[in-house]
Amino acid sequence: MAGKNITILLAGIVLVGIIAIALLALQSDGGKRVVVVYTSVDQVYSEPIFLDFENETGIRVLAVYDVEATKTTGLVNRLIAEKDRPQADVFWSGEFSQTIVLKNEGILSSYTSPSATDIPSRYKDPENFWTGFGGRARVFLVNTDRLTPGQYPHSVYDMLDQKYPGPSVGIAYPMFGTSATHAAALYSYLGPEQTHAFFTSINNRHVRVVDGNSVVRDMVADGQLAFGLTDTDDACGAVERGSNVTIIIPDQGPGEMGAVVIPNTVALINRSQHAAEGTIFMDYLLDKKRESAMVASGWIQIPSRDLSGAACINSSGIKPIPVSYEETYSALQPAQKDLIEVFIR
């Protein structure tokens, strides 16, 4: 009975998707070329790219956005449900783990974009099922009223330093979102035992563990925390609002592990209805000019190429943690399971 209910649910998702795309298509001009893009990227950032693409190519973008409550996973479930009758041509995500899920499910089509030749190989799927470009990084946000420059943290291990009282340091729960991605990268780089010990020490020191990166940002900005781990988009938001804070990219020194960088990813959908238009859109999105525009808009803080005037921090020459996105993804579920035992008992 449970299996039958799941089948009915998936069929319903597919039907709703078909109807939604059909309604969007009716709104377009008759005979006009179209491309259907499923995206988890906030509309305020993605829509200008879509409009510019339409103006430059004459191809209409039918965009399907994820709702904030399900973010990315909702679209991924929809793409899986539509596997036999794909409605989307392109998937554009603000992260990489769910894109790898789609690759493993056979949803994606291999494609090498000529626009991505100058993007470093670490941002690309080895089999070219997806391509990454600029995105976010995990950084420290520091309250400059509470700490002087000589006291600023420089490594994630500083969260264990006794000179910083545990409750003056903050992180988001490392089982969810980009905090979970960060934890998975540590599990892959350091190994399960060492990472488990690290997070156990975090918990035992009574470091403030809160419900999201934006909460960390706000608590640092108003002085409740001396510093905390968050994402560059949240951190830059605090800087741009004029809070007394500064941003430190962690683990950039000799012998240190490097920072966790979380790119955007884009991929073509296998057996899509508008494959030619999909490749044109993917080439357009991966062009250096578009990455520059997304840096200027504030969507990207860590570009994949060397771009001038990048975001609110100097990310030039950033040292990334030497772990592939596939390795991070493989460590994600084991890390989450282990950390539930550490933080929720």
pLDDT in tens, 62-118: 999 986 544 567 899 999 999 999 999 999 999 999 999 999 999 999 999 999 999
The reply to whether 205 falls in a domain is yes
Residues 8, 123, single domain; the answer is yes
Residues 123, 164, single domain; the answer is no
Contact 107, 269 (CB under 8 A): yes
Residues 162, 231, single domain; the answer is yes
Residues 224, 170, single domain; the answer is yes
Residues 129, 270, single domain; the answer is yes
Find how far residue 169's CA is from the centre of its chain: 24
| pTM of the complete model | 0.85
Residues 130, 140, single domain; the answer is no
The reply to whether 323 falls in a domain is no
Q: Which domain, by its residues, includes 298?
A: 2-134+262-311
The reply to whether 229 falls in a domain is yes
CATH number of the structural domain spanning residue 40: 3.40.190.10
Residues 68, 129, single domain; the answer is yes
Structural domain total, the chain: 2
Residue type, 224: Q
C-alpha separations of 158 from 182, 205, 292 in Å: 16, 12, 33
Tell me the mean pLDDT in the region 16-21: 49
pLDDT of 16 > 90? The answer is: no
Residues 98, 145, single domain; the answer is no
The reply to whether 124 falls in a domain is yes
Residues 338, 232, single domain; the answer is yes
